[in-house]
Amino acid sequence: MYLLDPSAIAIILRRFQEKSVEALEGKITLDLARYELGNVILKECALEGSMSLDEAASKAEGIAKILEIMKSEKIESSKDFREVMNLATRLKLTFYAASYLHVAKNKGLTLTTEDVELGQKAKHINIKTVTVSELSNLQPKNVELVILASLPVNLYKTKMGICMNK
């Protein structure tokens, strides 16, 4: 199983667009991903001015729907918080980034990330990592989803209830 960080999710959404449902369904992320992905949209809207507020709100809604098809893990217990803090301090990572390493290690998951530094630090503590390109090469093709993905975009979006691009 794969744990995807926000860098991987963002690349999948951009690269695969309508087919991102197929790529993300059943994958695991942390509940923290929604906030980081929301910040990506906010940055594009407010700071870079590359989209309108309405477009940003629509993309945020699309991300919320995409995250609903993924499994979400949380860091909740005091023991988990302690272990994440120890990892973050030892590896000189943010608490946020160390949370992904903690969950991957404790659940035996492969971390999917485009963050080179995080990937290197994950390997340092024996966590298997892959990039989005490597993940897409590893995935078995689900015939039903491949057929859905070949439908016209507007029909696909209507059937799946997800609208990332207009």
pLDDT tens by residue, 91-114:
999 999 999 999 999 999 999 999
Q: Where are the domains of the chain?
A: 2-74+109-160
Task: Domain 2-74+109-160: give its CATH code.
Answer: 3.40.50.1010
User: Taking a C-beta distance cutoff of 8 angstroms, is the pair 2, 135 a contact?
Assistant: yes
What is the spatial distance between Cα 8 and Cα 5, in angstroms, rounded to a whole number?
6
Give 48's DSSP letter: S
Model confidence at 10: pLDDT above 60: yes
pLDDT of residue 143: 28
pLDDT tens by residue, 120-134:
999 999 999 999 989
